[in-house]
Amino acid sequence: MEMTVDQLLHAFRIMERSILAEQRLLRFIEAGDSRVLLHSGRGQEAIGIGACAALRDDDMLFYSHRGVAQILAKGILLDELIGDFLGRIGGATGGLGAGIVHAVDPKFGVMGSSGTLGGGFVLSAGAALGAAKLGDDRVSIHLFGEGSANRGTFHEAANAAALWKLPMIWLCENNGYSVSVPHREATCIEDVAQRAQAYDMPSAIVDGQDVEAVYGAVKEAVERARSGCGPTLIEAKTFRIRGHYEGDPQNYRSKDEIAAAKLKDPQILVQERLAARGVGEDRLEAIRQEERAHLEAAVATAMSHAKAGEAQIYQGLLAGDMS
């Protein structure tokens, strides 16, 4: 399903924003300004951006540990994301979400990322159940890696979502590796999407480097969920350009494999699509310049706030208490 030129331009902008943001977060780590880790989503940006383009503002996103592009696409502010990464009180969670980008902002439908792999399955299914009980037509979407799909919580949540026809979209980002373990050595089936058959739910396999392919699959799943037809399992085949974590020696894959992944950079594909539809390089360069300026302003805003300290220890323990 094709996106409009405006949608593609927005996808290009968010990709640029995400790439620049991750580069700056890495600089913070290298300079000792942040003691947390970053699991880079470089190369996988099209999945979250394409998915979020098919969602409404009030739909609920449970993102993966490579979630920078995902939460930016859903609407979270860049200065709040950076603020959380640096543990600043101006962050989306007042600096309490510091660490591998655990930002939360319900007004954008950004519901968070589980601190344990596989924990998001039951949380996102619970959110879908809540929407169904309230009688509204919001949907819940959970992005996760193929390694997490081997956790028992996946099966528990998938069964419940299918049984109760919950408005749920499962979106698997299959980059081929669970940390350093190849997919073929950890899972007995080639495609995670095959598991949908066991729960009598629709499924799709898409090119995770193609933002339009992801958008089309998620849009269909959203329409199905809103109409009361239940969940969908989508598997996006993708590649991560960087290691599992920063400093990962990556001795489990060859340099040729990494080089091949870079040739399938989703940002390049979006640029090619835009060029084919008559968008000139001058317009793309203008967006790049705007996003560079936006990043610098966001960093300045984030750094202007104090670091979270003892006063924030008990903040947010009770529902509605983020003051």
Q: What is the 3-state secondary structure (H, E, C) of 63-102?
A: CCCCCHHHHHHHCCCHHHHHHHHCCECCCCCCCCCCCCCC
The answer to whether the beta carbons of residues 77 and 39 sit under 8 Å apart is no
Single pTM value for the model: 0.95
Domain at 83, CATH number: 3.40.50.970
Each residue's pLDDT, cut to its tens digit, for the chain (323 residues) gives 899 999 999 999 999 999 999 999 999 999 988 877 888 999 999 999 999 999 999 999 999 989 999 999 999 999 999 999 999 999 988 888 766 678 889 999 999 998 888 999 999 999 999 999 999 999 999 999 999 999 999 999 999 999 999 999 999 999 999 999 999 999 999 999 999 999 999 999 999 999 999 999 999 999 999 999 999 999 999 999 998 988 889 999 999 999 998 999 999 999 999 999 999 999 999 999 999 999 999 999 999 999 988 888 887 788 766 55
- Decide if 230 is inside a domain: yes
- Decide if 322 is inside a domain: no
Domain assignment of residue 163, given as a range = 5-302
In angstroms, the CA 283 to CA 8 distance is 13
In angstroms, the CA 214 to CA 5 distance is 16
Supply the angle between the helices 266-276 and 211-226 in degrees, to the nearest 10: 90
Q: How many domains does the chain have?
A: 1
Residue among 179, 176, 234, 173 nearest 202 (CA): 234
DSSP letter at 307? Answer: B
What percent helix, strand, coil does the chain show, rounded to 5? Answer: 50, 10, 40
- Decide if 191 is inside a domain: yes
Per-residue CA distances from 105 to 92, 152, 296 (Å) = 6, 28, 22
- Decide if 318 is inside a domain: no
Tokens 């799943």 correspond to 221
- Decide if 90 is inside a domain: yes
- Decide if 197 is inside a domain: yes
- Decide if 319 is inside a domain: no
Spatial neighbors of 289 by CB under 8 A, at least 6 apart, are none
In angstroms, the CA 232 to CA 203 distance is 6
Would you call 168 helix, strand, or coil by DSSP?
Answer: strand
In angstroms, the CA 169 to CA 161 distance is 9
- Decide if 312 is inside a domain: no
